[in-house]
């Protein structure tokens, strides 16, 4: 259709995640390759990536080489591009060489353009000079992507749209690369965030806004972007950064626009939200009307998550007996059976293998409530699942049952004071050897009544993990 613009939506590809892992090292690339393959098979006019294309701020040469090889294979060809950019490209695209979109360069043959913003993982930093550069700048200067949405002023945000036109359909594509949530929130409150609009025919443009920030999910009033901050005249908001796949457009609670959250294409943490089926979206825009179809990704590694309570299993003494001299061995057998049940769910599921290593090995996370019981060594426990699961060294996540709330006035007052001071039950020493530092941070911070304001729970966990790996 000469009047329908088709856009493939994807975000948080995290290329290079766990690249040194012998099993999971190619997972991010397998998913990314499928994303671009779907764009080809669905005849998309362009691909929109909403941040965190790379997992590391300074990707390794291997990651850059693999990424560029995939982009060249899927984005270059001899077909003509069906839309045109009618805005000043020097104002909205970051192309330091040609000053225009990559498919308009006569020395390159790009027939499936990619438009991308940066996320919090691949945001611009200084490296060897005074200029701020992102890993996306390397892809942009190589004419492999069109990098947009970067803000160079720290005290004033001005978002210029990329104006696209295909036949009678006009689309204004607004992008905002990742910024510190609290600072962006403060600028928004101070009315220092401005969106430029086309000079003519405002009502004829279909407005898309893509960003890479925290959503208001109980993180506090200052550590996120609220829906009320987004201009009401937007038609569709594509939200990056949040890894849970909620790609079906949802109507905003405060505006007339709709929100699509594609979620990540690869699991970077073993949480409930990451366990949902991964999708990409095919967005068709014709005039002021749009339709979004979700397509499940087939090259994503299976992920099974469950929980078990040892306290409940010990009730009656039929499954576990706390007085049993071989209790630890019995616990291992019981938990192993739970893991086997989780793994068996994926045995009948076929996985389309692009470059996925050992797709039959799934990710497993079993949360174990062990109040009154000791913990098991994760490495020793996981050794029996080597070759069967993709993460044998961190299958189990132990936690204790929260103490019942004290009903006395004195106890309630003490509990209130401890909560106000941020004091929570400490983690037992023996537990520290069995849990991943990132999981420990996430578990404690997500359960806090008061949320962090400067950093997100994910950023804190990733920072702690990076420091641990650096020290080790």
205 and 82, same structural domain? yes
Q: What is the DSSP letter of 433?
A: T
Q: For residue range 33-67, list pLDDT tens digits in order.
A: 999 999 999 999 999 999 999 999 999 999 999 99
SS (H, E, C) 21-68: CCCCCCHHHHHHHHHHHHHHHCCCCEEEEECCCECCCCCCHHHHHHHH
165 and 50, same structural domain? yes
CA separation for the pair 449, 259 (Å, rounded): 27
Angle (CA) 367-337-461 rounded to 5° is 20
The answer to whether 362 and 340 have CB atoms below 8 angstroms apart is no
140 and 285, same structural domain? yes
369 and 240, same structural domain? no
End-to-end CA distance of the chain: 56
140 and 105, same structural domain? yes
On whether residue 153 sits in a domain, the answer given is yes
Whether the predicted pLDDT of 169 surpasses 90:
yes
Helix/strand/coil for 381: helix
Provide the domain limits for residue 96: 4-296
On whether residue 287 sits in a domain, the answer given is yes
On whether residue 416 sits in a domain, the answer given is no
The pTM is what? 0.85
On whether residue 371 sits in a domain, the answer given is yes
Q: For residue range 212-266, list pLDDT tens digits in order.
A: 999 987 656 788 999 999 999 999 999 999 999 999 999 998 878 999 999 999 9
On whether residue 131 sits in a domain, the answer given is yes
Residue/partner pairs of 182-191 with CB below 8 Å, 24 or more apart: 182/222, 182/223, 182/453, 182/454, 183/154, 184/157, 184/213, 184/225, 185/221, 185/222, 185/223, 185/224, 185/225, 185/226, 185/229, 186/222, 187/155, 187/156, 187/157, 188/225, 188/229
For residue 332, the domain's CATH number is 3.30.110.110
| Cα torsion angle, 440, 446, 450, 453, sign | positive
On whether residue 253 sits in a domain, the answer given is yes
The answer to whether 196 and 218 have CB atoms below 8 angstroms apart is no
Which of 264, 296, 328 lies at the terminal end of a domain, its last residue? 296
Which of 296, 314, 344 lies at the terminal end of a domain, its last residue? 296
| Band (424; pLDDT cuts 50, 70, 90) | very low
189 and 130, same structural domain? yes
Q: For residue range 254-290, list pLDDT tens digits in order.
A: 878 999 999 999 999 999 999 899 999 999 999 999 9
Range in 45-54, 246-255, 315-324, 451-460 the model is least confident about: 451-460
For residue 163, the domain's CATH number is 3.60.21.10
What is the pLDDT of the chain when averaged over all its residues? 86
160 and 232, same structural domain? yes
Range in 61-75, 127-141, 391-405 the model is least confident about: 391-405
What six digits make up the tokens of 343? 């793994």
What six digits make up the tokens of 335? 């938990």
CA separation for the pair 301, 303 (Å, rounded): 6
Give me the number of domains the chain comprises: 2
Which of 367, 399, 431 lies at the terminal end of a domain, its last residue? 399
Q: For residue range 351-384, list pLDDT tens digits in order.
A: 554 457 788 899 999 999 998 888 999 999 999 9
On whether residue 417 sits in a domain, the answer given is no
340 and 292, same structural domain? no
Share of the chain above pLDDT 90, in %: 65
314 and 292, same structural domain? no
Angle (CA) 207-187-456 rounded to 5° is 90
52 and 120, same structural domain? yes
Active-site positions read: 121
363 and 283, same structural domain? no
pLDDT score recorded for residue 293: 98
324 and 219, same structural domain? no
On whether residue 438 sits in a domain, the answer given is no
């Amino acid at each position: 259709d000469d009047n329908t613009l088709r856009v493939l939506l994807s975000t948080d590809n995290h290329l290079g995640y766990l690249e040194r892992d012998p099993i999971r090292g190619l997972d991010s690339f397998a998913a990314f390759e499928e994303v671009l393959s779907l764009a080809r098979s669905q005849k998309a006019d362009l691909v929109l990536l909403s941040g965190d294309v790379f997992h590391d701020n300074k990707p390794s040469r291997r990651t850059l080489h693999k990424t560029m090889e995939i982009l060249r294979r899927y984005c270059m060809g001899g077909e003509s591009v069906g839309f045109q950019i009618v805005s000043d490209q020097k104002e909205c695209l970051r192309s330091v060489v040609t000053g225009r979109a990559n498919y308009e360069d006569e020395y390159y043959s790009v027939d499936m353009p990619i438009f991308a913003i940066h996320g919090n993982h691949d945001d611009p930093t200084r490296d060897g000079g005074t200029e701020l550069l992102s890993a996306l700048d390397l892809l942009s200067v190589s004419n492999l992507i069109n990098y947009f949405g970067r803000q160079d002023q720290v005290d004033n945000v001005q978002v210029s749209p990329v104006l696209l036109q295909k036949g009678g359909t006009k689309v204004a594509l607004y992008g905002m690369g990742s910024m510190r949530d609290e600072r962006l929130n403060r600028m928004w409150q101070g009315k220092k965030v401005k969106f430029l609009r086309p000079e003519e025919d405002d009502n004829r443009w279909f407005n898309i806004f893509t960003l890479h920030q925290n959503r208001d999910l109980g993180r506090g009033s200052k550590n996120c972007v609220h829906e009320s901050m987004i201009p009401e005249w937007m038609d569709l908001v594509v939200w990056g950064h949040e890894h849970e796949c909620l790609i079906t457009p949802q109507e905003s609670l405060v505006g007339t626009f709709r929100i699509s959250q594609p979620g990540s294409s690869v699991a970077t943490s073993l949480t409930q939200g990451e366990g949902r089926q991964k999708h990409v979206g095919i967005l068709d825009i014709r005039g002021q009307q749009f339709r979004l179809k979700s397509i499940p990704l087939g090259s994503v590694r299976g992920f099974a998550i469950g929980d078990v309570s040892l306290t409940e299993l010990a009730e009656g003494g039929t499954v576990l007996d706390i007085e049993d001299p071989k209790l630890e061995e019995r616990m291992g057998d019981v938990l192993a059976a739970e893991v086997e049940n989780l793994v068996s769910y994926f045995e009948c599921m076929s996985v389309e293998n692009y470059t996925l290593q050992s797709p039959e090995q799934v990710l497993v996370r079993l949360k174990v409530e062990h109040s009154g019981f000791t913990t098991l060594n994760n490495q020793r426990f996981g050794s029996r699942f080597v070759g069967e699961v993709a993460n044998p060294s961190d299958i189990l996540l132990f936690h204790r049952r929260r103490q019942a709330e004290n009903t006395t006035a004195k106890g309630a007052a003490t509990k209130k004071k401890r909560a106000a001071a941020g004091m929570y039950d400490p983690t037992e020493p023996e537990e520290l050897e069995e849990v991943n530092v990132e999981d420990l941070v996430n578990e404690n911070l997500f359960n806090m009544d008061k949320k962090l304001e400067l950093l997100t729970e994910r950023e804190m966990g990733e920072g702690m993990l990076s420091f641990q790996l650096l020290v080790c």
